[in-house]
Amino acid sequence: MGFFDSISDMLEAALPWSTAEAEAPKEEETKDEESSDKSEEEGSEEKEEEPEEEEEEEEELEDPKEKFEEECKESKACAPAKHHFDECVERVTSADHGKPVDKKHPDEDCVEEFFHLAHCASTCAAPKLWNALK
């Protein structure tokens, strides 16, 4: 191991790019006894990187997934699924309110219609959501 480590160390020093730093500062600390001040430094560094994100913060946070999926449900691509779901909701809820129950499907639920709609909406929202999240 030692041999290869020294080679890769030399390579790292010579290469124009550096390796990802997720671990490196912490490793140094493992060796360092008085590292408390260092971790503080690190914390402040992290904070410096962030402020751009905070602008977006509003009073009430809105979940981007919900927002995109609502938009997607109204989109043209999901219109058939939405239509079927709405129709089912109509049918099932009206059956509860004294209307004659559909003889063929007495215990109908709208799970399948819900699945189709949810599938359509979440597939459509997935890439947008990933752009919005960190």
Partner 1 sequence: MLARSALRSSRTLGAARNGAVHTSKRAASSSSSSADASPFRLNMAGTAATAVAIGSLAWYYHLYGTELHAMTMTEEGLHATKYPWVHKEYTKTFDHQALRRGFQVYREVCSSCHSLSRIPYRSLVGVTHTVDEAKAMAEENEYDSEPNDEGEIEKRPGKLSDYLPNPYKNDEAARAANNGALPPDLSLMVKARHGGCDYIFSLLTGYPEEPPPGVKLPDGLNFNPYFPGTGIAMARVLYNELVEYEDGTPATTSQMAKDVVEFLNWSAEPEMDQRKKMGMKVLVIGTALFALSVWVKRYKWSPIKTRKIAYNPPIQGGKH
Binding site for partner 1 (CB under 8 A): 20, 22-23, 25-27, 29-30, 35-36, 39, 42-43, 46-47, 49-51, 53-54, 56-57, 60-66, 85, 88-89, 92-93, 107-115, 118-119, 122-123, 126-127, 129-130, 133-134
DSSP letters, the chain, are -HHHHHHHHHHHHHSSS----SSHHHHHHHH-S--HHHHHHHHHHHHHH-HHHHTT--SS---HHHHHHHHHHHSSTTHHHHHHHHHHHHHHHHHHTTSPPPSS-TT---HHHHHHHHHHHHHHHHHHHHHH--
* Cα 66 from chain centroid (whole Å): 11
Which of 120, 93, 118 minimizes the C-alpha distance to 108?
Answer: 93
Least distance between partner 1 and beta carbon 60 (Å)? 8
Start-to-end Cα distance in the chain? 37
Least distance between partner 1 and beta carbon 13 (Å)? 18
Least distance between partner 1 and beta carbon 70 (Å)? 11
Least distance between partner 1 and beta carbon 17 (Å)? 14
Least distance between partner 1 and beta carbon 86 (Å)? 11
